[in-house]
Structure 1
Amino acid sequence: MTQVEDEVVLAVRRHAAAEVPWDAARERAYAAATPLPPRRLPLADSIGCVLATALVSPVAVPPVDRSAMDGYAVRGAGPWVVVGAVLAGSGLAEPLRDGQAYAIVTGAAVPAGTTAVLPDEHATRAGEKVGGSIEVGRHIRRAGEECAAGELLLPAGTLITPQLIGLAATLGLNRLAVTPKPRVLALITGDELTHHGPSSPGRTRDAIGPMLPTLITSSGAVEAAVQQLPDSREALVGALVSADAEVILVSGSSASGPADHLRSVLAELGAELIVDGVACRPGHPQALARFPDGRLVVGLPGNPLAALTAVLTLGVAVIRRLRGERLDVLPVAPVPGGLACHPRSTRLVPVRVGPHGAVPVGHGGSAMLRGAAEADAFAVLDPGPAEAIAARLLPLDPGVRPWGV
């Protein structure tokens, strides 16, 4: 070998020795981030965030006994004389006496002394009298039935869904204390990339840039921007210094080629390199660094499937922590027929999950997205000398939370 070839081999070996096991890389990425400071947001702006503090009911729900049916609030044994009507929003009626009834609608406050609500469909009315069979306490929503004042309803870290927003409104809340969504900026490097039309000799259509925005938002973050950069050290330095986001994804500059400037630029800017390569296939050149101001940089390989792997490995773990969420625990599924393991690295294989387990779809090379487009998960195969007959499942859509989480 020539001296240059020897240096390349040594560099590859050093990089391989520095690679972090796949599970450890996820854990390091999660630990590297700190949840963003809480904010109080209007209900509509809270969707998709998580609760920064536990949701505690300030009031009892319902605040008074309410009718659960349209019908008659009655007292005592029937038949009953109808002495009035109670409409929703009309406030409290006079207490009932034995043998009396009020016509009532669903949600209206039942008068004091009500024995039960007789539904319209079970009532027989003749003039001012109504009859029917009742069960004591039936069709009355009691005060505090859903929750009592001061009751803890949901813990901090709960994902805010439309249903949770509805519950908060029921409690009379207009704002929620949330951990806000982190902002993610994507930098796509590569002089060879074209952004319109097909690839050609010497030019490659960018597939990573169009893929990242949805991955970012599905992960629970806000896409700050996707910027295209030339293979220029100066351009990369400028973009990293000016990046106004908690997370910066850098695609195509994380390997060790002559146009891959990311690691040296990070060192120049004083960033701490937390992950320098991950022992997985595809996606091993990925990296994670943290600037002194707390901003996190995720280095993505230039091949599309490898870049997807890096986003799901390091990027999602970082975003989960910034959002104040737990790191996903991956479910296990059988692999009919088995899949070959790599002797030293974790394999991530595109699979389709069905009633019989995870079935590989093929086309899983680092430069290919055909398999991932057909799949709904990666089968995560731990290193080993043989075939795996079961595997953990890493959803390809970060918004899909694995069972058991």
Structure 2
Amino acid sequence: MAARKSATSWSEARRLAFDCASSIPAMPVPLAETIGRTLARAVTTSQDLPHYASSAMDGWAVSGSGPWTLVKPGQPLVPHHASPIATGGLVPVGTDAVLRRESGRTSDDIAGVPTLTLGPEARPGEPRSGQHIRPAGEEAAAGEVLIPAGTVLNPAHIALAAIAGHDELHVFGKPRVTILLTGSEVVTSGMPAPGQVRDAFGPQLGTVLAMLGGDPVGRRRIGDSYQEWLAALSDTGTRPAERPDVVITTGGTGRSGTDHFRNAIAALGGRLLLDGVAMRPGHPAVLAELLDGRFVVGLPGNPLAAMMALITIGAPLIAALGHRPLSNLRLVASGTAIGADPGRTRLMPFRFDNGLASPAHHTGPGMMRGLAWADGVLAVPPHGAQPGDRVPALPLPWTPSLTAGSAGSHLFNAPTVPV
């Protein structure tokens, strides 16, 4: 079947979904909730890191040469005196070095005064001036930028911010996403009977949206009636803070008598931003905006078609709202000839084999077997491809977790295509 004349090209659809949204304003967020968010204000340190000189070893803080008279921990040292110290402990005033525990020996002198001397395991020249002391400011000086604005925060960034004394960070807003699952024939557990299908979206779609940078905040399941569609899309939450930025729907985007996406959007005063994409699978994908500013992404009902639509228009939309860039495509070498499909981009899950990308098997619109083992998705242009041709490709939301050296890592080493 030829692509609908009104369908937008695949590359134009990605760009439109990205350009239609503005990033959510930045806000202060508690430190533990900022992992994965984009930093809006640079993180600096108001004091040296570390802010005091500390010991790098368990042992003794020593002043001058030995033997040393032992004094109580923490008090200032004068030459030939020492005091016990633990790793990370504050170095007393007057300390020249830290003698590690393995290198010292304690005993009482003739007068019964506790004394520290070098032990048989001491190394030549030990202790040298400054040895085993972590000076103040070793990691950063006061006022230094630790994390620049625009950084997508990882757990190590959060730990660094905590060390610098921050309790919250200014990060760009994370789009709140609700999921509207439809279909009277869908069952959520057990083996489906003839005429029924098992729910492929409920167990995983929220997690995928989180991987894309969204904040899944709700999920609702309805049947196939127009009234249910209208009521579900009308529900914005009891408070403005609970209102989602994006609603993801599954099914109902075709043009049969049981497909109500477009009619429900029109009844609510919304507008269609994108009505169909010249791609396969997933061409019935729809993007709309409601009067209250919510975006609605209509995914087809078939599982693979829905996932291809999600990475085509859902991912760019969520990226724009979350102040992230539209991801570039990668160029990979095709491992086989792929025929032309005039007017449409074909999205084909693929596997790497000796560095070449070959379409996976079991990739019909309703199949998930091929996608489950895919390294990425080829965006095959309408004219097709020949063996060895460079073909645009996208990673899957979960492929960034692939370890270096795995098959999927080839995709991240491939050259990019500017959007």
TM-score normalised over the length of structure 2: 0.81
For residues 227-284 of structure 1, give each alpha carbon's deviation from its aligned partner in whole angstroms, at most 9, with x where no partner exists. Answer: 2323322322221121431111121111222222222332333323222222222111
The answer for the alignment partner of 1:397 in structure 2 is 397
**1:392, CA displacement in angstroms?**
4.2
1:166 pairs with one of 154, 159, 162: 159
| Residues 174-323 of structure 1: pairs in structure 2 closer than 5 A | 174-243=167-236, 244-323=243-322
395-404 vs 319-328, which moves further: 395-404
The answer for the alignment partner of 1:79 in structure 2 is 66
3-state SS of paired residue (2:137):
coil
The answer for the alignment partner of 2:408 in structure 1 is none
**1:182, CA displacement in angstroms?**
2.3
Contact residue 45 and residue 165 of structure 2 kept, 8 A = no
Q: 1:82 to 1:347 in 2, by over 3 A?
A: farther
Q: 1:388 to 1:273 in 2, by over 3 A?
A: farther
Contact residue 43 and residue 149 of structure 2 kept, 8 A = yes
| Residues 330-345 of structure 1: pairs in structure 2 closer than 5 A | 330-337=329-336, 339-340=338-339, 342-345=341-344
Given residue 252 of structure 2, which amino acid in structure 1 is its aligned partner?
A: S
Contact residue 347 and residue 383 of structure 1 kept, 8 A = yes
Structure 1 residue runs of 5 or longer lacking an equivalent are: 1-11
3-state SS of paired residue (1:348):
strand
The answer for the alignment partner of 1:105 in structure 2 is 86
Distance 2:283 2:18 in 1: 18
- For these two proteins, the number of residue pairs brought into alignment is 386
| Residues 14-93 of structure 1: pairs in structure 2 closer than 5 A | 16-76=4-64, 78-84=65-71, 86=73, 93=75
Contact residue 80 and residue 101 of structure 1 kept, 8 A = no
**1:340, CA displacement in angstroms?**
4.5
199-208 vs 291-300, which moves further: 199-208
3-state SS of paired residue (2:335):
strand
Distance 1:399 1:374 in 2: 10
For residues 188-219 of structure 1, give each alpha carbon's deviation from its aligned partner in whole angstroms, at most 9, with x where no partner exists. Answer: 23344344444444433332343322222332
Q: 1:304 to 1:62 in 2, by over 3 A?
A: same
3-state SS of paired residue (1:210):
coil
262-271 vs 54-63, which moves further: 262-271
Q: 1:271 to 1:121 in 2, by over 3 A?
A: same
**1:286, CA displacement in angstroms?**
0.8
Contact residue 268 and residue 291 of structure 2 kept, 8 A = no
For residues 114-137 of structure 1, give each alpha carbon's deviation from its aligned partner in whole angstroms, at most 9, with x where no partner exists. Answer: 333232234455651323523433
Distance 1:281 1:378 in 2: 12
Q: 1:17 to 1:138 in 2, by over 3 A?
A: farther
Contact residue 304 and residue 364 of structure 2 kept, 8 A = yes
**1:112, CA displacement in angstroms?**
3.1
For residues 60-85 of structure 1, give each alpha carbon's deviation from its aligned partner in whole angstroms, at most 9, with x where no partner exists. Answer: 21111111112233334x33414335
1:349 aligns with 2:331: no
The answer for the alignment partner of 2:363 in structure 1 is 364
Q: 1:79 to 1:181 in 2, by over 3 A?
A: same
3-state SS of paired residue (2:203):
helix
Structure 2 residue runs of 5 or longer lacking an equivalent are: 109-114, 237-242, 402-410
Percent sequence identity over aligned pairs: 38
1:326 aligns with 2:314: no
Q: 1:117 to 1:384 in 2, by over 3 A?
A: farther
Given residue 71 of structure 1, which amino acid in structure 2 is its aligned partner?
A: G
3-state SS of paired residue (2:36):
coil
Distance 1:335 1:219 in 2: 26
**1:298, CA displacement in angstroms?**
0.5
263-272 vs 194-203, which moves further: 194-203
**1:380, CA displacement in angstroms?**
2.9
**1:388, CA displacement in angstroms?**
5.5
Distance 1:248 1:215 in 2: 14
For residues 10-60 of structure 1, give each alpha carbon's deviation from its aligned partner in whole angstroms, at most 9, with x where no partner exists. Answer: xx97x7333223233222212222222333232233333332322222222
